Each structure stands twice: as C-alpha cells, then as structure tokens.
Amino acid sequence: MFDSLSDRLNDTFDRLRGKGKLTEADITSAMRDIRMALLEADVNFKVVKEFVAKTKERCMTAEVMESLSPAQNVVKIVLDELTEMLGSTESKLVFSNRIPNVIMLVGLQGSGKTTAAVKLAYLLKKQGRSPLLVACDVYRPAAADQLATLGGEIGVPVFRGDGAHPVDIAKGAIQEAVDHLRDVVIVDTAGRLQIDEQMMQEAVYIKKAVKPDQVLMVVDAMTGQDIVNVVSTFAERTDFDGVIISKLDGDARGGGALSVRQVTGKPIKFVSMGEKPDSLEPFYPDRMAKRILGMGDVVGIIEKAQEAADAEQLEAAERMLREGFTMNDMLDQMKAVKKMGGMKGILGMLPGGQRALNQMGGNLDEGIFDKNEAIIMSMTKEERLRPSIINGQRRARIAKGAGVTPTEVNSLMKQWGEMNKMMGRMRTMANQAQAGGKKGKKGKKGKKMRMPNIPGLDAMGLGGMGGLGTGGPKSDMDLLRQMEAQMRNKK
C-alpha cells in the first residue's frame, strides 16, 4: 500500500535532514522530487500540481517553529497538506431514524462491489445491527449466487428476487427487511466493464425507487489514472455520498485513490485491505497520511489489539502476572497476532515499519507462527504449563514430533524465557504499585525500563527492529509531539 510513494518521499526527507539550513533552492528541489513521486504513484496531474504549489508556498512563507529543525518543518507541512488532500477528518456513515436504513453501492464491474457489500454487512453486524444484503446484479453470471454464498459465511441473509427487474428487487428487499426486522438494507447494484448509459440509468432508477440514506461508490485502488473519469461520471449521475476503496493492499502505487477526494469532493469512508470479511476499515485521513510518510499508525494497532482482546484474554493476563508465562500463553499470543492481521500488518502500522519491510523485499515469514504452533503442540500438557522442565532430551523429542530442528525449538524456548522475565518484571512493578511504591518508570539504579521486543520478531530475523522509529521516522514522530506541546504553551 503506497510502498513506492512512501519510499520516495522518505528519501526526499532524508536528503533534507542532512542540511542545517534550507535555502529556496533546497525547497524547490524537494518539491520537484515530491511532484515526481506523486506522479509515479499515479496521482492525478491536476491534484499533484495543486498539492505541490500549496506545499511549496507554505514551506517558503510558514513561520519556522523554534523547537523543530527546518527539515522537520517541511515534513510537518507535507503531512498537513497530505491529510487535507485525503479529507482532513474521518467521515462516518450517517444513519437516519427510519427503519430500515438503505445503503446503495455503485461502481464498475470488477471494482469489488459484491465483496465490499459483504464486508460492510459484517462490519455493521459487529456493531449490533441486523443487515440484509440485496442482489440487484441480474446480468453478471452467478452474481446473486456469489452474494448468497458470502452472506451465508457471515450469517447475513440475502434477498434475491429471482427473475425480477433490479428496481423491483430493491423495492421488494425493503418490504422483506420490514417483515423480518432488518434495520439496514445493503443494495449491491450491477456494474459494467466500462461506463455506459444503461448501467447509469438503472442506478438512477434504483436510487429513486428506494431513496437510499447513503450511496457509496466502490473504487478499485488499482484503476490508476482512469479512476478520475470514473468517479467524476458517477458523481454527476448518482451524486454518491462517499467512497469505498477496495484492493488497497494490491498495488504498491495506489495513487489513483489519493485523487478521489480532491477530484470529487466526496469523502473516503472505508478502505479494504484484504480478502477476509473483517478487512474493511473506516478511513482516517490523518492516520493514512502518517503511514504514507512512514510515521506508522500506532493508534490503529491499539484499536486492533483492543478488538482482538476478550474477557478470557484479560483474565489470562491477570493470571500471567500472578503465575508466570506458559507456552499456552505464547500460543494464544500468536493467535492474537494473526487475528490482528499478522506480523506484516502490524509492522506496516509501526513508525518506519513499512520502510524496513520494503528494504527486506517484503520478505516476512508468517509461517513461523505455524511452525512454533507445531512445536508447542508437540509438548506434553505439563511441559506447556511448566516450560522450565524442558531439558535437552525433551527438546530433541519435541523437535522430532514437530518435524523441526532442535535449534528451532531452542529459539522458541529463548523467546519464552524473555517473555517470562518480562512478566516477572511487570509482576514486581505491580506489587510495588500496590505497596505504595512510587518509583514511576524508573527501574533499578534509576535506569529507565526498556520496552520489550514484539514476540516473534527475533525468530523471523527481525530482532533488531526493536529500534523501529529511530532516525528519520522517529524524528518525525517527535516533531508532532513537540509541535503539540508548543501549541499548548502558546495557549
């Protein structure tokens, strides 16, 4: 996702950081590099021209904050303008008081409307709503079957209206929702490989018939420059309310998606970055801008972790603090990481993580989780609960049972040892807090406690990534904190 753009922009910022003072020539050169990076990422030419002009003007005239270096000021301005280009603020779905609410999806064939409809239904179901999917694509072979199959997988019913006209199907779905107490109707309309009058007119007729509360256009992130013509035409004919960008994980450029908000004035409401039903995410312009600039999305990681956590896991965390860290706990952690999108997904949201991943050629062996799971499952119940009893003879037996080498078993045991020590330190800190100790974040001899590495990084050859965010990306994260502090002081 935006890999090439992110790399090019960070290379430009790296060159600026090497200069103590920036001249007009330095800024002009940097803006030229940024323009080329955006164009190569498939961002619309007019959008690039406007973006670079505004950014350059601000860089030349903006008041330089004393707490920031000249290069950091440029990064901050680029971040602000990129956030503005993407939409500035989050745009949520707006629901009316009527029952059912109707959401209509439009877009070209192949843009991902059907899967987007299912993902949206899954998201709304998780939020406590009762969605109904409607198959209004009567032209594409097996389109209704596909929707019915996918809807069945997530437990959401599908209204098909076999043999009826799409407008009649949409009308019938409203009555079906009323009869079966469904509070949201998601209408999946037909598309074409190219824009044509019949498709547009049918979308207009359906919109007039069901009066949707929201019309969302589904756009394929890999469409490229032609995305501008497509969204402009749909905006003119159907006056949609927002955009869902699909397949954002499928193109390293993705710049066409950056043009949508600027060209149509319509907000990006959701982005889809995967095949699974839970891969549809609300779009946050500020977070996306930070990820493009290599600053990560730490808030997103926290939200994913909170979503993955449940009552049993919270109870397990309390037990770990009391009794220590077992191999069963490590197995649960690996499953939680998978649930959060895997190690690649997490690294992509860490400051500097995506760039580090790119430098490795994107090679991150997610299969290490399956291998470690096999090792743990080859242990006896007692060994999983008390890993400290595992000696050389037991390790050889476990390795043979899991089909791995003793070295790989030793690597997992080393990870367990580090996590167990960390739990011990946390237990000590918790006991001190309960006893009224006020050492704060200081450990022995006044030294600051170090953040532990993410479990599993060492085993994947990424042990050195505990320093993610250092250098360029870290300084950019620091500049945001410094700026916020400075603004508070001015107030």
* The pLDDT value given to residue 47: 87
Strands (DSSP E) contained in 337-473 are none
| Range of weakest confidence among 78-92, 247-261, 325-339 | 247-261
Superfamily of domain 320-425: Signal recognition particle, SRP54 subunit, M-domain (1.10.260.30)
The larger pLDDT score, comparing residue 15 to residue 321, is at: 15
Q: Are 223 and 256 in contact (CB under 8 A)?
A: yes
* The pLDDT value given to residue 63: 64
Q: How far apart are CA 117 and CA 138, in angstroms?
A: 16
Residue-wise pLDDT tens digits, 467-483: 333 334 444 445 444 54
Across the chain, mean pLDDT equals 76
Give residues with Cβ within 8 angstroms of 323, minimum separation 6: none
Residue-wise pLDDT tens digits, 181-190: 999 999 999 8
**C-alpha separations of 237 from 198, 204, 229 in Å:** 12, 7, 13
Backbone phi, then psi, for 187, in 5-degree steps? Answer: -95, 115
| Range of weakest confidence among 348-357, 365-374, 380-389 | 348-357
* The pLDDT value given to residue 457: 40
Residue 69 has pLDDT above 80, yes or no: no
pLDDT band of residue 177 (cuts 50, 70, 90) is very high
Q: Would you list which residues are annotated within the binding site?
A: 107-114, 188-192, 246-249
**C-alpha separations of 89 from 84, 254, 258, 389 in Å:** 8, 20, 15, 54
Residue 276 has pLDDT above 70, yes or no: yes
Q: Are 272 and 244 in contact (CB under 8 A)?
A: yes
Residue-wise pLDDT tens digits, 222-256: 776 677 778 888 888 888 888 898 887 765 556 66
Residue-wise pLDDT tens digits, 299-314: 555 555 555 555 455 5
* The pLDDT value given to residue 264: 80
Residue 319 has pLDDT above 80, yes or no: no
Residue 80 has pLDDT above 90, yes or no: no
Residue 53 has pLDDT above 60, yes or no: yes
Q: Would you list which residues are annotated within the binding site for GTP?
A: 107-114, 188-192, 246-249
Domain 101-282, architecture per CATH: 3-Layer(aba) Sandwich (3.40)
- CATH of 2-86 among 3.50.50.60, 3.80.10.10, 3.30.830.10, 1.20.120.140: 1.20.120.140
Residue 489 has pLDDT above 70, yes or no: no
> Packing angle between helix 143-154 and helix 113-126, nearest 10 degrees?
20
Helix spans in 274-352 (H): 285-292, 298-308, 311-323, 327-339, 342-347
* The pLDDT value given to residue 345: 60
pLDDT band of residue 72 (cuts 50, 70, 90) is confident
Q: How far apart are CA 205 and CA 371, in angstroms?
A: 54
Q: Is the pTM of this model over 0.85?
A: no
Residue 73 has pLDDT above 60, yes or no: yes
Sequence spans of domains, the chain? 2-86, 101-282, 320-425
pLDDT band of residue 65 (cuts 50, 70, 90) is low
Residue 324 has pLDDT above 90, yes or no: no
* The pLDDT value given to residue 365: 60
Q: How far apart are CA 445 and CA 423, in angstroms?
A: 20
Which residue from 263, 401, 419 is spatially nearest to 329, judged by alpha carbons? 419
| Range of weakest confidence among 50-59, 111-120, 183-192, 293-302 | 293-302
Residue 456 has pLDDT above 50, yes or no: no
Q: How far apart are CA 379 and CA 370, in angstroms?
A: 15
Residue 342 has pLDDT above 70, yes or no: no
Residue-wise pLDDT tens digits, 389-444: 999 999 999 999 999 999 999 988 988 888 778 777 777 776 776 666 544 444 44
pLDDT band of residue 454 (cuts 50, 70, 90) is very low
